């Protein structure tokens, strides 16, 4: 039986500090980074985001364009679908921010907790709602000769889709096909507001704090 899940915990901060200056989509953090190098801390194969943790823009998140980042600057992509504001406010100067890795499916949901087979009809699944197509995109656990990997349903090439990012406010289904499974979750508890833009029509929203909440608790209205 499918059950709903979300990730109300974050990965550890790669950087935490304040914004020294803003130039377009670029945050200068030279006043906080010290002798470290931000770009050197970014790992290949991962996607990152910046979250504002206090002030006027608390809870807003921006996707990071990793390649142009330097030792003391972070390049943001406000046009990305996971960014919560369409532009980078110049008033972020002095604001406290954190830089984090996104959770990937294969990191947040250990493959060992699921059952892999060579058939998408019998393997465990993860089901993510895609508002762009008003339908679910499904990953199934392919046994892959003893080296299991998450594969997108319908992909005849059986490419590894375990790098699929799970967004901060995203809910999804975990669908164990044969046996009940226990999925251990671990990480850092968010201590600030969290922006949750909604699309017109259906949305699949997860919890972004590790506590029970009603729509009213989240300040959600009928509108």
- Does residue 212 come out as left (phi exceeding 0), alpha (psi in the -120 to 50 range) or beta? beta
Whether the model clears a pTM of 0.85, i.e. scores above it, the answer is yes
Please give the chain's pLDDT, 223 residues, in tens: 789 999 999 999 999 999 999 999 999 999 999 888 999 999 999 999 999 999 999 999 999 999 999 999 999 999 999 999 999 999 999 999 999 999 999 999 989 999 999 999 999 999 999 988 999 999 999 999 999 999 999 999 999 999 999 999 999 999 999 888 888 888 999 999 999 988 888 899 998 888 888 888 877 777 7
* Count of beta carbons in the 10 Å neighbourhood of residue 163: 15
**What is the Rg, in whole angstroms, of the alpha carbon atoms belonging to the chain?**
19
Report the candidate in 14, 54, 7 with the shortest Cα–Cα distance to residue 193: 54
Q: How many CA atoms lie within 13 A of 37 on its CB side?
A: 8
Q: DSSP label at 170?
A: B
Contacts of 98 (CB under 8 A, 6+ apart): 13, 14, 15, 16, 50, 51, 53
Residue 66 has what pLDDT? Answer: 98
């Amino acid at each position: 039986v499918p059950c709903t899940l979300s990730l109300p915990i974050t990965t550890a901060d790669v950087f935490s500090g304040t914004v020294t200056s803003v130039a377009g989509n670029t945050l200068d953090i030279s006043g906080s980074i010290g002798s470290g190098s931000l770009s050197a801390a970014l790992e290949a194969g991962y996607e990152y985001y910046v979250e504002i943790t206090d002030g006027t823009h608390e809870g807003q998140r921006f996707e990071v364009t990793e390649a142009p980042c330097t030792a003391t600057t972070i390049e943001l992509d406000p046009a990305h679908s996971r960014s919560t504001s369409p532009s980078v406010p110049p008033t972020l100067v002095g604001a406290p921010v954190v830089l984090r890795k996104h959770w990937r499916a294969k990191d947040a949901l250990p493959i060992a907790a699921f059952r892999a087979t060579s058939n998408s009809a019998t393997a465990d699944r993860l089901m993510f709602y895609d508002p762009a197509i008003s339908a679910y995109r499904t990953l199934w656990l392919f046994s892959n000769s003893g080296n299991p990997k998450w594969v997108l349903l319908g992909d005849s090439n059986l490419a590894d889709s375990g790098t699929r990012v799970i967004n901060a406010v995203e809910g999804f289904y975990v669908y164990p096909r044969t046996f009940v499974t226990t999925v251990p979750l671990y990480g850092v508890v968010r201590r600030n507001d969290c922006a949750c833009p909604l699309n017109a029509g259906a949305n699949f929203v997860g919890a972004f704090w590790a506590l029970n909440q009603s729509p009213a608790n989240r300040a959600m209205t009928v509108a």
